[in-house]
Amino acid sequence: MNLLRDVFKFLSDLLGASSSSEAKAIQTQTVTVNNYTPGVQSQNPMSVQSQSPTRKLTILFIDDDSKFPIVRILRKQEFIREVEILNDISDFSDRKVADADAIFIDIEGVGRILTPKDEGLGLALEIKKRYPTKKLFLYSSNPQRDMTHPAIRAVDGLLQKTAQPAEFIRVLELIKDGA
C-alpha cells in the first residue's frame, strides 16, 4: 500500500495537482486503469485479483502406434490444451505440425511418406529445418538406432519410448515454463 501511495504522490506531483481532491482523482483513475481486466468488472477499484494465465501447450505425437499410452496420460494434465497423435504426415506445412508447441517423433515406423530412407530421423531433421524454434523430441523403443544421424544433434531431446510418463511430463513442464 505504501508503494501505491508513493506512486500516486509522484503522479500528483508530476501532473501538478493543486489540491488533494485532484490528487485523489488521479489516484482513483490510475488504480482503475491498472486494475482493468477485460471482461471483469470490479466494484472496488482497490481490489486487485491476480490473474496470471497459465500457458497451455499443444502437443503432437507422430507415431505409427496410434494407441501410444503416454498420449492418454498427457491429455489429463492441466497445462496441456491438446494432444494429437498422427501415424505420419504427408506435408511439412501440415497445420497440426505448425500449431504444435512440442512435437514428439518416433524414430521408427513414421516419416515413410516424406523421408522414407531415414524414417522418423529424417522427418525430425526436416521439421526442425522448417520450424527451428519449435520444441522437437525423438523417442524410440530401439535405443541403438543410428545415433550419428544429424537429427540427433538437431532435436531438443531424446527419450526412450518406454520412459515413465513423469519424464514426458517433466519435459513439457520445462517447455511450459519457457525453458
| pLDDT at res. 41 | 46
Mean pLDDT of all residues in 113-123? 94
Cell triple for 122: 529424417
**pLDDT of the residue at 50:** 36
pLDDT digits (tens, 9 = 90+) for 150-162: 999 999 999 999 9
Q: What is the mean pLDDT of the chain?
A: 78
Residues with Cβ within 8 Å of residue 74, at least 6 apart in sequence? 59, 80, 83, 165, 168, 169, 172
SS3 43: coil
pLDDT of residue 56: 92
Using CA atoms of 141, 143, 148, 150 in order, give the dihedral in degrees to the nearest 10. Answer: 40
* CA torsion through residues 86, 91, 95, 101, sign: positive
What pLDDT was estimated at residue 45? 40
pLDDT digits (tens, 9 = 90+) for 12-60: 554 454 444 444 444 433 332 333 334 444 444 443 333 345 679 999 9
Helix (H, G, I), strand (E, B), or coil: what is residue 12?
Answer: helix
Q: What pLDDT band is residue 179 in, cutting at 50, 70 and 90?
A: low
- What is the per-residue pLDDT across 69-87, written as a single tens digit (0 to 9) for each? 999 999 999 999 999 999 9
How many CB atoms are closer than 10 A to CB 27? Answer: 21
Domains and CATH numbers, the chain: 1-52 (no CATH), 57-176 (3.40.50.2300)
